[in-house]
Amino acid sequence: MFPKVVQVIPMKDYSVYVYFEDGKIVCYDMSHMIEKDVFLPLKNMDIFLNTCTVLNDTLAWDTSLNRDNTTCLDIDPDTLYALPFAEEQIA
């Protein structure tokens, strides 16, 4: 099975709730990743929150704002799916 992300909701603490097609929800903590060179643009909270999206069936940041899946920053969906179930904190 290839996990498919259908929705993402970024939070102000650099975490993202990730919703999968099969109903699984995980919370991915990006706070440790934003220190890596490739993810440095996401330290800007406006960019982190406003460019977070689903591209290629996974969590991504469309930092170029052109929906080009070759230039986005993304996280492997298998990595996300392996995280434990999260209790949704959004209401």
CATH number at residue 23: 3.30.2020.10
pLDDT in tens, 51-87: 999 999 999 999 999 998 888 999 999 999 998 888 7
Does any domain span residue 91?
no
- Domain region containing 49: 5-81
Q: How confident is the model at residue 90 (pLDDT cuts 50, 70, 90)?
A: low
Does any domain span residue 46?
yes
| pTM for the structure as a whole | 0.89
Helix extents (H) in the chain: 45-50, 77-81
* C-alpha to C-alpha distance for 7 and 91, rounded to whole angstroms: 15
Q: Do 54 and 7 meet the contact criterion of CB atoms below 8 Å apart?
A: yes
Does any domain span residue 87?
no
Query: What length is written for the chain?
Result: 91
Does any domain span residue 90?
no
Does any domain span residue 16?
yes
> What is the number of domains present in the chain?
1
